[in-house]
Structure 1
Amino acid sequence: MSGSDGTIGSAPARRRRLTPRFLVRHLLRFAVSLCVLVVASFAMIHLIPGDPLRQMLGPTAPKELVDQRRAELGLGDPLPVQFAHYVQHLAQGDLGTSFFSSQPVGDIIAQGLPHTLSLAVLATLVALLVAVPLGMWGALRTHKGRRPGTEAAFTALTGAAVAIPEYLYGLALLLVFALGSGLLPPAGLTGPSSYLLPVTALSIGPAAMLARLARVETLRELDSDYMRLAHAKRLPPLRLYARHLLPNTLTATLTMGGLLLGGLITGSVLVENVFAWPGLGQRTVEAITQKDYPVAQAMVLVYGALVLAVNFLVDLILGVLDPKSALATPRQEG
């Protein structure tokens, strides 16, 4: 319907504000999830078969040396005692020291985390920038059953793109654009061009998924009353689609984009290994393979905490933006 200022929109004239109950509920959920994550990070690593000391000292190391080192590291204590020590140090901000490199785990994370986050954030932005116009284009081309061939091709191609793992995209891009043609650097971080291949590999699948969602949301909005009124007023296409259709299509797509950011943070592990990226991916795989308990536990904890934090922020944003949210209360405009 048309507003008093002559604009057209589907959102109500009331805004939402976060309530204390909403914030407390989500903070409690975040805290409980974090506690579960701490337990899971400890248990998961200790359930992996193998002896980290034998990997560190070698299979021929004398038993006396192995037992001495095990006592020094506290690995001979019962698991509940080890867990209590783990939580105690964690509460003090001490993530421990690597068994193999003797480097503080906090330093390892501080060195690699910015590179992992930059990769995930850029991939999310690229996915959104590609997906939203692509999804809207697909909806406009196929609205009301028009061009069934285009709809079938759009669905098939985006479905296939979602099904292929990110690391396979990474290997293909590496072979074609780095090892084959030499157009781009094959590994490491040597400059801005180093981002192109890993970001592309990470963003293709999410872009296809978001494009499918954007198309569905656009089709729903095209059949809404305010869009019918906008068409009846014969508004110029740019104003019609950019000013009225796009904002009302973005809510669900941006929400999913935020959730995908959390997935890309953890999903970047394999892609980072393909491109020898200086993030947390390589150290995570090495730590799990070597059973480097302090590093592996910290990596699981950091990845999980980042995903929880992203989901928490998405919930807060939805509590403000989503007019249908039952978790936030309306606030009348003054």
Structure 2
Amino acid sequence: MTAIADTGSRMGINPWLRFALRRAGRLLVSLWVLVTAAFLMIHLIPGDPVRAALGSTAPLSLVNARRELLGLNDPLWLQYAHYLRDLVTGELGTAITSGLPVSQIIGDRLPATLELAVLAFSLAVLVSIPLGLGMAVLTRGGRRRPGELAFTSSSVVLAAIPDFLVGVGLVYVFGVQLAWLPVAGRGDPGSYVLPVLALAIGPAAVLARIVRVETLAMLRADYLRTARAKRLPGHVIYLRHALPNALTATITQAGLLLGAMVAGTVLVENVFAWPGLGSTIVQSILAKDYPAVQGVILVYGVGVLLANLVVDVALALLDPRSTIREG
């Protein structure tokens, strides 16, 4: 696909088309690697995965019937071909323990995980951008050193604490000690507060630091000195000139954090007994229900790949020259 893009460059194809070809090629290769790894997972596990899932006391007839249902008696190449065919048609197999289609389990649990991830990511972005911009304006030129030190130290500490430990701390303070908010389940709006905060606090601290650093760099640029010399209003200088140019690195990091945030829902959901894919994959791993684990891993992997694709497109729109002309 890269060779096609390079050939298109020599033939004078539109740079946006070359950009689309490169990204599509990378996405397809990544999807193939993800799908192949998920397929091989069930075959690389020592022993019989069906016997492990059903237990040592399960009748041999039941084990053989499940193996036949899962197609594990077929040659490996045929299983792989059937696996790819089923993925194209949206068929993810059957869970060993429950006997339900994996696609049905994912369909029931995915909305809860998406709600959690989208709300947490939105909160992190909405908090970090004004906070980072404000701290850059307040501390530029070495001013307010104590405030800068407090902001930097606190953001480093918050970013270093794992999401699930933040969740445990929030449960103890706001659920056990103060009894202000529910600590388990997905119900009224109050049940969203603690898990969303647990997922958002660390990424918000990271993004706020990046916004501050990038904004400080922009404030030292020549074109902003010119803007100040023209006596433009402060909000025009900061919001129209400095912030958009500082967001390129922020968007890149935000995309990486979004992928990490999706993965972070696994542990946070278990802390708060949230009925999403995170709790589903943990239960499936404990039950050795490998078809269910395969399906959930695929969903998480595709989510991360799509998040990276969105970041690439956003960077191309913000800074088309550097991104589209990338070799």
Under TM normalisation by the shorter chain, which class is it? 0.7 to 0.9
Amino acid at match of 1:278: P
Matched, 1:125 2:119: no
Q: CA deviation at 1:18?
A: 5.4
Runs of 4+ in structure 1 off by over 6 angstroms are: none
Which 5+ residue runs of structure 1 have no aligned equivalent?
1-16, 330-334
CA distance in 1, matches of 2:231, 2:210: 27
Query: What corresponds to 2:295 in structure 1?
Result: 298
Q: CA deviation at 1:63?
A: 4.0
- Equivalences for 1:167-186 in 2 at 5 Å? 167-186=164-183
Matched, 1:312 2:309: yes
1:116-146 CA-to-partner distances (Å, cap 9, x unmatched) read 1121111111111111122122222322233
CA distance in 1, matches of 2:182, 2:285: 28
Q: CA deviation at 1:256?
A: 2.4
Q: CA deviation at 1:20?
A: 1.3
Higher mean Cα deviation, 256-265 or 23-32?
A: 256-265
Q: Work out whether residues 66 and 96 of structure 2, in 8 Å CA contact, stay in contact via their aligned partners in 1.
A: no
Amino acid at match of 2:107: A
1:59 to 51, 56, 63: 56
Q: CA deviation at 1:201?
A: 0.3
CA distance in 2, matches of 1:107, 1:327: 40
CA distance in 1, matches of 2:321, 2:136: 24
- Equivalences for 1:1-334 in 2 at 5 Å? 19-49=16-46, 51-63=48-60, 65-327=62-324
CA distance in 1, matches of 2:241, 2:89: 51
Higher mean Cα deviation, 249-258 or 163-172?
A: 249-258
CA distance in 2, matches of 1:60, 1:121: 43
Report the TM-score, using the length of structure 1 for normalisation.
0.86
Q: What's the secondary structure of 1:182's corresponding residue?
A: coil
CA distance in 2, matches of 1:154, 1:216: 12
Higher mean Cα deviation, 43-52 or 138-147?
A: 43-52
Q: Work out whether residues 54 and 66 of structure 1, in 8 Å CA contact, stay in contact via their aligned partners in 2.
A: yes
Amino acid at match of 1:130: V
CA distance in 2, matches of 1:31, 1:281: 26
Amino acid at match of 2:248: T
Amino acid at match of 1:189: R
> RCO higher in 1 or 2 (8 Å CA, sep ≥ 6)?
1
1:186-208 CA-to-partner distances (Å, cap 9, x unmatched) read 11111222111111000111011
1:261-319 CA-to-partner distances (Å, cap 9, x unmatched) read 22211221110111111211111111222221221111111111111112112212222
CA distance in 2, matches of 1:57, 1:68: 12
Measured on the aligned residues, the alpha-carbon RMSD in Å equals 2.2
CA distance in 1, matches of 2:69, 2:91: 17
Amino acid at match of 1:127: A
Higher mean Cα deviation, 91-100 or 158-167?
A: 91-100
Q: What's the secondary structure of 2:137's corresponding residue?
A: helix
CA distance in 1, matches of 2:69, 2:105: 22
Q: Work out whether residues 319 and 328 of structure 1, in 8 Å CA contact, stay in contact via their aligned partners in 2.
A: no
Q: What's the secondary structure of 2:324's corresponding residue?
A: coil
1:31-82 CA-to-partner distances (Å, cap 9, x unmatched) read 1110000011122344345644334433223445434543443334454443
Structure with greater helix share of residues: 2
CA distance in 2, matches of 1:28, 1:68: 40
CA distance in 2, matches of 1:242, 1:108: 45
Query: What corresponds to 1:10 in structure 2?
Result: none
Amino acid at match of 1:206: P
Q: Work out whether residues 318 and 325 of structure 1, in 8 Å CA contact, stay in contact via their aligned partners in 2.
A: no
Amino acid at match of 1:275: F
Identity %: 54
